[in-house]
Amino acid sequence: MSSPGETIEAHGVRILAPLNLASTMPDHASLLFSRNLTNFLEAFSEEGAFQLDLEDEIQAGCLITRGGEIVHPRTLEAVAENKEGPAS
């Protein structure tokens, strides 16, 4: 239905057939990553100041260490497994 390098409309649907789709992706990927990172970091700030809310599931789940101790459950498991050595 489509031809390389053309955009057509069929039955109310726009069909894109770009010649080099991969070349358009880096810009979109960078924009998406920067937007996600900005939104993620803004969740940790209030009025421009960093605020850690351990009642927030996302923030608590991102915390790996606190006060010099590992507090993240999966990280604790991985460290414990590493200390035990490889499984036989």
pTM, whole model, 2 decimals?
Answer: 0.52
- In the chain, count of helices (H) and strands (E)? 3, 6
pLDDT tens, 18-69? 888 777 778 888 899 999 999 999 988 888 898 889 999 999 999 999 999 9
